[in-house]
Amino acid sequence: MPRLLPLLLKISLPLVVLDQLTKWWVVFNLKQPYLPYQTYPYLAPAGEFKGKYWLASNHVDLIPVIDGYFNINRVHNQGVAFGFGNGTDWAPIVFLIVPIVALTVVSLLWKKGVFVGWAKWSAPLLVAGVVGNLIDRLTQGFVLKGYEGESFWTRLSEGYVVDFIDVTIPFINYRWPSFNVADSCICIAASLLFLSAFQAEDKVKDQSK
């Protein structure tokens, strides 16, 4: 069983750096979307800045990469996948604690030898994804327009994950919820864990012959 730390340095660290570089580029180059947070900010009504609500008429700020299929689009997500939990009072706190728990669980399972076969590569990918999005939740609330005069804890609680990869699936014309590099790492890790289960079954069958 290889040590986890070298894998974290070789795989997780570069992915976290890439994740943060892309997110901060988006934050500094694309306009802040509608608040409170929505998975699809382009559905928000146009208007003006009022207290904590940003209703800029030009809040839709897309950079087309492949016209009609792939855009760069700044989206704030306080929830998890598909925007679950967005706009709720509990999401910022719950989803700030969950990543810390997840990192602890990954470490414990690694020590128990659970990550074997293809699953070995899922551990550093999971860590990269969890850490990348956790950094967002700890920092992004402090750069929000409209919260400059709020307390430290208020701004911390307004943390969110920056999603920016905006993809439309061809043929079915379905616009997939925006995601980021960290999300991609978590999805790939989940796929590897799923495949490793079949790998383990095949190994058991071979040993039983």
Domain tally, the chain = 1
Note if 183 is an active site residue. Answer: yes
177 confidence band (pLDDT: 50, 70, 90): confident
Note if 163 is an active site residue. Answer: yes
Looking at residues 171-183, what average pLDDT do you find? Answer: 90
Active-site position among 19, 136, 163, 166: 163
The predicted pLDDT at position 47 comes to: 42
Question: Residue 46 pLDDT > 50, yes or no?
Answer: no
DSSP 61-119: -EEEEETTTEEEEEEEESSSGGGTTTT-SSHHHHHHHHHHHHHHHHHHHHHTT---TTH
Tokens (6 digits) for 59: 């809040």
Which range of residues forms the domain containing residue 9? 4-208
The predicted pLDDT at position 92 comes to: 63
44 confidence band (pLDDT: 50, 70, 90): very low
Looking at residues 154-167, what average pLDDT do you find? Answer: 88
pTM: 0.78
Per residue in 102-153, pLDDT tens? 888 888 888 888 787 778 889 999 999 999 999 999 999 899 887 888 899 8
